[in-house]
Amino acid sequence: MPFHIAPKIIIDGTLYTLLVFSMITWTLILFKFWQFAKNTYYNKKYASNFWGARNLKDAEQNLADQTSGPKARVAACGFRWLTDVRQPESSACLKFFGSHENLLEQALRKQSQDEQRRLESGLTMLASIGSTAPFVGLFGTVMGIMHAMHDISASGSASLDVVAGPIGDALIATAIGIAVAVPAVLAYNFFLRSAKNHKAALDNFVDGFLHIAFSDNG
């Protein structure tokens, strides 16, 4: 190990890296909690208004009162498509060639996938931090132990008092790495499950929208 380049810089760099990981983790956790809570509120509110409408036309008019939330944006996509397909020039547009029901489903599924990507944004970072933080901490520990062993060898003493202090300090990096990884992994699993639940709810909404889009006479 090239001790002439001050190994303490490497060890400190490892600890600062873990500090940055921790800051990113808790920032993402707070943001994702806010994002999921907001979307859940808006979805419940819009679903209540949508399914409480007398017909699809009334549901479209109610959309003007709420444009936030995944379900509202999926519905807005569907209403735009239905409006466009009713235009006289739509018959000459390649966009509307084929079964209207299948084309509408394609548009709704695409919007639903876009909403899902928004919900899952940041989860890859949490997973990456959760999987790499312990190794970063272990790297700091290894460097710390090697540095401590070099100093012990230079001092010519191997007593417990001389060995225990530097080794104990080196192990702190591993402990910090684990402390950073645990909340990242727990948050990743929690938000991934929440995202799957939101996806299932959006899929059910899309199925319901398709069902009434071609059976509603309003």
pTM: 0.81
For residue 159, pLDDT beyond 80? no
DSSP for residue 122: T
- Alpha helix stretches (DSSP H) within the chain: 7-51, 56-62, 70-85, 100-120, 123-155, 160-213
The residue written with tokens 């800051």 in the block is 23
Q: In whole angstroms, what is the distance from residue 63 CA to residue 68 CA? A: 9
Per-residue model confidence as pLDDT tens digits over 32-59: 999 999 999 999 988 888 888 888 887 7
CB atoms within 10 A of CB 107: 19
Mind listing the pLDDT tens digit for each residue in 72-111? 999 888 888 888 877 766 565 666 676 778 888 888 999 9
The answer for residues whose C-beta is within 8 angstroms of residue 196's C-beta and 6 or more apart is: none
Quote the pLDDT of residue 17.
92
